[in-house]
Amino acid sequence: MPTTTINRVPLNTTQAVNSRIEAATGARIRYCAGNPLRIERRLRELDREWDIERVLETNASVVAFLGLVLGSAVNRRWLFVPAAVTAFLFQHAVQGWCPPLPVLRRMGVRTSREIEIERVALKILRGDFEESAMPRSRRLARNVIEIARA
């Protein structure tokens, strides 16, 4: 049975890499804590950060297009490249894993959920939410803040 969209990439990433990404998120939250200008700057950076899905889709389309160009201009054997890329994208859509994923995760490329957790944690530090009105995702971000402070 396929994994859910929200957890498929972390489940297909080694625990060491997931821990390193989480630690880096905690370090960024700690760095911003207590400084409203840093929080604002970091929130703007998060708005521009590409998640793993966007990076994979962009890389796949570039490689597939390059394979098509080489296949039509140089040698038809290059048409194997877009076929392989299509298979990798399908594998990622179904399983949450494809060959470039481990490399990108080691480079620190995060999921949209990981980015959103940092965003919400920073907004909590900024005082955007009342504690009593915190839904589950905000409580999760609060846990991230507590881990970051430890």
> With a threshold of 0.85, does the pTM exceed it?
no
pLDDT score of 89: 93
- Under 8 Å between Cβ of 84 and 92: no
pLDDT score of 2: 55
pLDDT score of 128: 85
pLDDT score of 138: 60
Number of domains into which the chain is organized: 1
Residue 3 lies in a domain: no
Question: For residue 56, which of 133, 118, 20, 110 has the smallest C-alpha distance?
Answer: 110
- Over range 30-38, report the average pLDDT: 92
pLDDT score of 41: 97
Q: Please, which pLDDT band fits residue 36 given cuts at 50, 70 and 90?
A: very high
pLDDT score of 119: 95
Q: Please, which pLDDT band fits residue 150 given cuts at 50, 70 and 90?
A: low
Check pLDDT > 90 for residue 26: yes
Check pLDDT > 80 for residue 141: no
Query: What confidence tens digit (pLDDT) does each residue in 70-123 have?
Result: 999 999 999 999 999 999 999 998 888 999 999 999 999 999 999 999 999 999
Round to whole Å and give the CA distance between 127 and 110.
25
Residue 109 lies in a domain: yes
Tokens of 75: 């040698």
Round to whole Å and give the CA distance between 82 and 7.
27
Residue 94: domain span: 8-149
Binning the chain into helix, strand and coil, the percentages to the nearest 5 are 75, 0, 25
Q: Under 8 Å CB-to-CB from 7, ≥6 apart: which residues?
A: 96
Residue 2 lies in a domain: no
Write down the number of H helices and E strands in the chain. 8, 0
Query: What confidence tens digit (pLDDT) does each residue in 124-139 have?
Result: 888 887 765 556 656 6
128 φ, ψ to 5°? Answer: -75, -20
Residue 1 lies in a domain: no
pLDDT score of 84: 96
Question: For residue 102, which of 11, 12, 41 has the smallest C-alpha distance?
Answer: 12
